Structures are given as C-alpha cells and as structure tokens.
Structure 1
C-alpha cells in the first residue's frame, strides 16, 4: 500500500516544483552585516554557507541604543499544566515561560565576539550569584548578588532578594517530582547557608559538569521568592527577578511581558514590552512574519527559501547545534514477555529506520544544498549530537555498534530470526495528536510508524491519542505495550550528563525512559565523578557504545544549523535580549 512516508515525499516533490515555478530555486542571498538605515534592505550577496554570520559575529550596537518599544515574537501552544516548573504536569510549555521570567545563579558568558563553540570561551559567570568558586572537588560556594529585586507583584511587592529565597527554592527543588534536579544529578549531600550572602553546596562526590546545573536547562533551578512556600501559588503567579515581568496571559491568545523597572543590570532592558501571541498553526506563523506582525522568525527548512524571498530586507543569521533528541521508548505493560525484552529485537527496530531520509526530509536538506546552504547535519546516537562527547556513527566512530544505526532491513531480519521471531513481530505504536511537541511531531511519528510497517518485519497497530491521554498514560505511567514514537527530548546541552541521567537512571522517576540496568547506572555514576577530561571522555565513549548495543530507547534525527530571520529595525542581537533594541522608525514601535 502507499504509506504515509511515500505520500510525504510526494508532497515535498510537488512543493519543490511549485517553488521552482515561483523562482524559489534561485540561490539564497543572505546578509552578513547591518546597514545604518534600519528600514532599508541590507546589501545582498550570494555567500558561501560559512559566511552566513552567527549572532556573535554581528556588531555591538549598545552605544546607539534607543530605549522603549514592544517586540513581537510568538509561542506555539498554551501553557496547560500550571506555571510552577517544579510541579507542573506539562513541563515543556511551562519551562518556556519560566526562562522568560525567572533567573538562575550563573550564566554562560555571551555577546559579540564570543564564540561559545570554543571550549576556551565557555565561561560561567555570575547572574543572581555575584561570584562562585570550587573550593574543593565536592564543594561549590556561591555569593549572592546584592541589589536584586523581585517583580512588583503582591505578595512579594518588589522586595530585594535575600538568602531565604535561595533556601526556599532549594527546598522546593528537592521536593519536586521531577528528579532531574541538583539533588539527583549532582548527588547532593547538603546545602548550607553560613551567612546572609553565602550558599555552600556540598556534593557526595566530584561532579564534572558542575556549574552548568546552576545556569540553564531542565536540571537547573530558578530562584523563586520565599513567599512560594506559603503566601503565593507559583502555579498561578509568576514572580521572578528576570528583566521581563509577566503582564498577563490569555490562553489561546497571548503571553505579554513588560519591563522590570528595578532589574539589577544597569540600564537594562532597553525594550518596554515583549508580546508572544499564541499561534498554533505553522502557516499562520509564516504569514504573520511576512506581514511584519512578528519581528523574529526561525522558519522550518522547507519554508526558508520562500520566507527569504518574501522578506528580502530581513537580516538572516545562523545558529548551530539545534535540534531536540527524538527518542522512541517502550512501555511497561507486558514488558516481561514482550519480544522487545530481547536487545536483538530492539536493534532490529532501530535498523528498519532510514535515518538519513528522515533527517534530510525534515530539514529540507537537499533543496537547501542545491541553493548553497549547508545545515551541517550531524546524526544522534544515544548522545545528543551537539555534545562534546558525541561519536559519529556515519563514520564508524562507534566501532561495531555503528551498524545498529544504519538502515539495513536484511540485517534486521537476521536479528529477529536469531531472537526467535522469523515471522516478524506484532507491535503497538503510540503518539499524541496535539501541538505540544512542535509543528513536525505528528508527521514525524506517522512517518516512523510507516517505516516500521513497510519494513515487512513489524505488524504495527497504531494508536494516535489525545495529548492529555498521552500525558497520563504514556508519559507519566508508561502504562502501555509497545513503542511510544519520537518524543522530542529537549533536556540537552553540550555535556549531556543531565540528559543521560534523566533517561537512564531510575532515580529520575517519571523522566526515566530506559529499562532497568544496574550496570548502566554504575557507568553513569563513574563518568560524572571523573574530573580528568581525558579519562571522562573515554568513559563517555564506552557508555555511548554500550547504549548503542542495548538500544533501550530508539534515537533518530540529529542536530543542524538553523537560520533566524529578523526585521532590520531589531538591533544588537549579538547580545541576550536584555540588550536588544528597536530602531526609532520601527513600524508600530510602541505596540
């Protein structure tokens, strides 16, 4: 029969023909610097892919900043599980809000001229902590920044941050059902507060990734006011210290933030407001950007050429190592007797997936290459492909285990026969039909389901269900039989210890996606306690090969460069958004 995958490819071919008719096949011309006149089109030239600038290569325009104005972005779905990152039932959408309003203790130094891809430039500097230091391999001391004020919202009322806020936040974090926290990731021994400006974090063993836990990511924590313990409900109120203060949230309409007037960074932010209309349909988002209703947009690869054609005055800049880690994981129901309890069956599932075709399809890779744009695709193993420890299976870097990621129906059939299933395997597949996991999630699941079916080795019973049913049955309880398809794992960073711990250590509770394996958990503990970079790299490579052999989850896709579009009146984007500003002649500058 004609499967979803075949129909999807046909749609892509038809779309390419349409683009060619429109002249969309012309070489993409991208601008490498800004002009002084903000409303004029930047100079266009056909640049090699490496010449498309990264944000850090753009000029520092701070000295010419003009305060005021409202910038317009967008968000793709409602926040369905409450505002509290430590208790929400829908953490992916809540973390988007949290990152806009709350702050962590540390941050990665960034700005014009700072290439964070280079290890020597990866400096962890103070944010809500004025300073920090390792005093010995298991002890980190943080000094609290003075003059930090919370948003002026009752019952906190804009008071100054104190050490009790840190204490309450640590307590809430330790009590969270989400066990990817400082306590479990870093094996926390205790936290002491020797005086009103100092927090001492003591670990049970050296923890190599250390500082990044206090800077960003799902395993980090965001400082909340002490009133969250008894006088405010963080599920319904957002009161942080960030330069954006939540003004209002209207479900299915918008999130709007206004300037925090007592933000601790002098003279920041420059902008007065940030608007995030909730736009669930991709076509609507593209249309709104083309119409100038959004100031910034990151088009999907299949839309990139057309958006560039429709918005010729946009500045385009590159961002590297983008992409979640899609994993397909097994349910607990009937697991003791299921065919996939045998690693050879799990390996066979992996080998009927044509990863190259999937990845190139979703990234529109060939069409972009033909137009001079190289996204630098890198394929995931069980390690996020942006990790410094990642091994490239396409080059055989995993050794013998590289074969388990290659598309090889004949070898998959031999594995099933060796496991005792010469006639193939019946398997249930599960995914949800909501927008919560992004614009491509549903199509990605349907294509993977189709690949399993079309292999001739798996008789698939598909189960597309509602997001709420998926959240409780599939995600939280894993009360299903078979394979949940292409969950986009977003807890990734260049070290990836936190993501590994969450997926494969049972202490992470309902974040755990693997299968029980004490040897694997011991391997995880060994690498995180090894402070020598060379020895830790060796341990991480051994761990990566072990996961490839066990195939407890089935990873697909990889990381890639993306291209961000901004209208030319948005300035200073080499910096974090607290230093962005709008040119005086920006259309509708004040909203």
Structure 2
C-alpha cells in the first residue's frame, strides 16, 4: 500500500518558486520585532490554563513560561538544577529536604514562602483535588514546613524520578492569591514566579504575556529578551500555515513536514525539526468500557490491528525527520523502556485477516476510530491500513479536549492519540496512566496494574527493571496499546527569530530573541 504525501497548495508552491503573494513582505515581521512582541499559534485550545487541570501539551507549554517549580531540568543536559529551591537533600528513599530561595516574588508582588510550597504540594496530591493526571502526584505523601525557608517532602513509596516530576509538572501556586480568588478565579488569571506573567487569558481564543521584570536573580530560565508574547488558538493546520505565510503569526509547530522544503524557500521563514519524547498510539478497548460486545475485547482482533498497520512506513514516509517505531509502550530513552521485553508484531496484512477470521470476523467489522492527531494524513494512513485488512474504521477527527473527555468517560473502542510523558524520562510517567486503573486505562488488567505499581514502588533499579519488563511483555502480548511512532516536532518561524529547540518537546519562548 502506498502512503501518499499531501501536496502544497498552489499559492504556497508558487511563492516558494519566487512568485510573490499579496501581503508576503517583510513589513509585518519587522513591526513585531520593533514592538518586541512574538506572536505564537497553537492548534488546540486549552480548557484550563492552570497546568494542574489539563493534560494537553499546549497547556504544559503555556504554563512553563509563567511558572517555576522547586527545581528545574536543564533542557540541554537533562540535569536537575536549582529553581525555587537552592538546595535539596535525600534524607532517605522516601524523603527530600529542600532549602528555599529567598527574595522571590510572585507576579502580584507577593513574597514566595514555604507556605506556598506546602499548600501547593499538599493540595495537588489529594485525590479530591481531581488534577488532570493523578499519576503525576500519586507518589506524594505530603509536605511540611520545617523552618522559615525549609520544607520536607515525603513519599508514599520510593520514587527515583521525584525530582523530574517536581521540575516538569509541579509548579508552585501562590497560596494567599489562590485561596482569595478560588480555583475558578485562579484559572481565569493565574500567577506564578516565572519569567513571563499573564496579562490576558481567554480559553477560547488564547493568552497574552509580558516579561516579568521582577523575575528572581539566578532564576534558571533567565530574563527573556522579548517583552511580550501573544498565543492564539487556531483550530486547523491549514489556517495556521496561512497565518504564518501572511505574517500574522511569527511561530507555529507540528505543521505537516511535507511543507518544510517549500517554507524554507521563502526568504522570510525557516522550518526545522526535532524529535521529541512524544509517542503516537492506538488505545484499544480490551476492557469493554465502550460496550462488552465491541470487537476490541477479543485478543485476536486486537492482534489483527497490530499486524494490519505498517508503522515503519508511516514513521519514515509520513512523519519523517528520524521518527522511530517503539517496540514497547513508552519512549525508548525512558528508564524501564526495554524494547527486548516487548512481544513484536510485524506488518502482515494476511496474518491480520486470518486473525480476524479466528476472532469470528471473517468479513471484518465496523468500528468508530477517533483521533485528534494532526496532520490528518497520519490518522488517515492508519485508517487505510485497517480497511485493507478488513477493519472498516470510521474516522472521527476531534479536538484534543473533546476526545480526552470522551475517552475518560469510557466511550471509545479505538482511539488514536499521543502522550509526551510530560517530558519525564522515566516510564513511571506513561505506564501508570494507561495500565494502572486511571480514566485512560482501557486494559483494566489487574495483573498488569500490579506489575506497573511494583515497578513504581521501589528504588531498587534491578527490581524496577524486572517489574517493568514483565509489564511491557504482558501489555504487548495482549495487544492493549499500540505504539505507532515517535513524534518529530516541525517548527516554522520568522527568519528574524532566534529560537532554540530541545528534545523534550517544550518550546521555551523565554530563550527566544529577535535578531
């Protein structure tokens, strides 16, 4: 089967060949440079700007510009460095003591204190708070103030990746402000201690920031060169690219990589790629949450799906840029992600058809196939492979938030999505979310859950690896969750913009600057 490539529209191709399009001149970008403003476009809206209450990558990115955690992970080395805490000591495998930085201000001018840390960590670790990704905080027992500028964090179990979670997904709230305005008020105008502060929040349209000149001395993110950021939510890839070409935005990402060469021919734009820790996947409803009679409850039908899709062709011909096909349900660099432990499934459409017949579907079956993945050609390629094997998948392309809501209600028999592990380089950031009883778990396999939990309940590396190996073997032999390919982020932005990219899929606008 041949996977086609989307051709660029006539207007874009013509421009790349040297024919001018109306409005494609240097003026608009130069105006933004003069105004010291960067205009950003994201494809998906975020229903809650508070990072604890959304699980979308866009939400993590938006929050990262405005919030800091106790520690920071250097994007180039992945080394943990000081942020709101200047020092930390592992007392034992389940206890860390932190010394807090003094002189830090929140965006409203109030002082950062130990009370803010205790309040944040205690609140988000409580089940009743209903954070978007409970597994990110389920390891936390509590946090207490041990002195004017010291706190102690205790864990329910040894958590070797604790500092990664504190760096990537545990920003600190201002206790007094959040208690005064309440959770809803805070989501409408969050404040943190980061290098940018929000000046406007509209969950339907976008957000605006300005540089926070009170960002603390020695902060790991530094003082931003660009004064203002405006981030718009644009619902589809075509409109997003049109806005970039018309110079109404300065930066986009995750555009169709087929467009890179043509974009790079334009005198005022540049496009580049960077592999990320994000994995695209198919989640199959083995547990029957969407209906006990759904075909995905049958092992051979699920195995047929795994054999039906030429994942390598999708990775190399559509995604490109060095995309890989993970054998295990995790990103290859993550601790515990052992490809050798996974049961392998070759692309074999004939075997897929035979398995369907053995499962009781000699003529195949129909099934709803939901996806929020863009470009849509990636979802369509999966659909085409499935249909060639006899699985008539009705593709329903959805917005990210809408699909997540349906998924967590248990309504989806077959869904295509992606998971970036919050850029945490440990399988504890992915396996529990899909195999340990969360709202995203469509396996509901008690033995698998026990293995995943065993891997997360010890600091012994050998024991962790053994438990995760067994979990990977069970997850793949039962064909619960199919890793399709790793993401390669494709960025396009104004040539006048200096913008560094990193492997953790976290754009850092505070490091960008106009040339």
> TM-score, length-normalised on structure 2?
0.81
Structure 1 partner of 2:24:
none
Q: Deviations over 1:402-445 (max 9, x none)?
A: 1x2x21122223434444x152453421426xxxx4532x4433
User: Which residue, 126, 130, 141 being the options, matches 1:177?
Assistant: 130
Structure 1 partner of 2:329:
382
* Matching of residues 141-152 of structure 1 within 5 Å: 141-152=97-108
Structure 1 partner of 2:21:
none
* Matching of residues 30-41 of structure 1 within 5 Å: none
Q: Give the superposition deviation at 1:258.
A: 0.5
- Measured in 2, the distance between the counterparts of 1:67 and 1:109 equals 30
Structure 2 partner of 1:277:
232
Q: Which moved more, 1:302-311 or 1:531-540?
A: 531-540
> TM-score, length-normalised on structure 1?
0.72
Cα RMSD after superposing both structures: 3.6
Q: Deviations over 1:198-257 (max 9, x none)?
A: 2212223322222111011xxx22211113234342222211111111111356654221
Distance 1:304 1:183, change over 3 A: closer
Structure 2 partner of 1:570:
497
- Measured in 1, the distance between the counterparts of 2:283 and 2:155 equals 33
- Measured in 2, the distance between the counterparts of 1:478 and 1:460 equals 18
- Measured in 2, the distance between the counterparts of 1:129 and 1:282 equals 40
- Measured in 2, the distance between the counterparts of 1:415 and 1:572 equals 49
Structure 1: segments with no counterpart, 5+ residues = 25-38, 40-65, 117-121, 153-157, 366-374, 584-591
Q: Give the superposition deviation at 1:177.
A: 1.9
Q: Give the superposition deviation at 1:388.
A: 4.8
The answer on whether the counterparts of 2:289 and 2:442 sit within 8 Å (CA) in structure 1 is no
Matched residue pairs, number? 484
Q: Deviations over 1:553-587 (max 9, x none)?
A: 23312244x4545545434848954344334xxxx
Structure 2: segments with no counterpart, 5+ residues = 18-26, 28-32, 503-507
- Determine if the alignment matches structure 1 residue 103 to structure 2 residue 68: yes
Distance 1:535 1:172, change over 3 A: closer
- Measured in 2, the distance between the counterparts of 1:438 and 1:382 equals 18
Structure 2 partner of 1:426:
365
User: Which residue, 123, 134, 141 being the options, matches 2:79?
Assistant: 123
* Matching of residues 407-556 of structure 1 within 5 Å: 407-419=347-359, 421=360, 423-431=362-370, 437=372, 439-440=374-375, 442-456=376-390, 458-460=391-393, 470-472=403-405, 474-480=406-412, 482-483=413-414, 485-492=415-422, 493-506=424-437, 508=438, 510=439, 512-533=440-461, 536-556=464-484
Structure 2 partner of 1:223:
172
Q: Give the superposition deviation at 1:321.
A: 3.1
* Matching of residues 230-379 of structure 1 within 5 Å: 230-232=180-182, 233-250=185-202, 253-265=205-217, 268-298=223-253, 299-311=255-267, 314=270, 319-321=274-276, 323-330=278-285, 332-333=288-289, 335-363=291-319, 365=320, 375-379=321-325
Name the SS of the counterpart of 2:188 in structure 1: coil
Name the SS of the counterpart of 1:73 in structure 2: strand
Q: Deviations over 1:20-71 (max 9, x none)?
A: 99998xxxxxxxxxxxxxx9xxxxxxxxxxxxxxxxxxxxxxxxxx998222
The answer on whether the counterparts of 2:278 and 2:421 sit within 8 Å (CA) in structure 1 is no
